[in-house]
Amino acid sequence: MRSLPGDVAVIRPVTGRVVVGLLRTVCLLALITTIGLAAVAGLFVTGDIEMLDWHETYAMALNVLTLAQVVLAVLLWRRNRWLRWPMAAALGLLVMVAIQQILGDRRTLGGHMPLGMAICAVEAALVLWTFALLRPARTPDAAADEPAEERALVGAEGEE
The pLDDT tens digits for 108-153 are: 989 999 999 999 999 999 999 888 875 544 444 444 444 544 444 4
Cβ-count burial 69-94 (b if 16+ within 10 Å, e if not)? bbebbebbbeebeebebbbebbeebb
Q: Among 6-10, 42-46, 81-85, 111-115, whose mean pLDDT is lowest?
A: 6-10
Position 6 scores a pLDDT of 54
Q: What is the pLDDT of residues 86-116, one digit of tens each?
A: 899 999 999 999 999 999 989 898 999 999 9
pTM assigned to the model: 0.75
Q: How far is CA 71 from CA 26, 50, 65, 107, 129, in A?
A: 11, 33, 10, 30, 17
Cβ-count burial 114-136 (b if 16+ within 10 Å, e if not)? ebbeebbebbeebbebbeebeee
Q: Are 11 and 150 in contact (CB under 8 A)?
A: no
Q: Report CA dihedral (140, 145, 147, 149) to the nearest 10 degrees.
A: -20
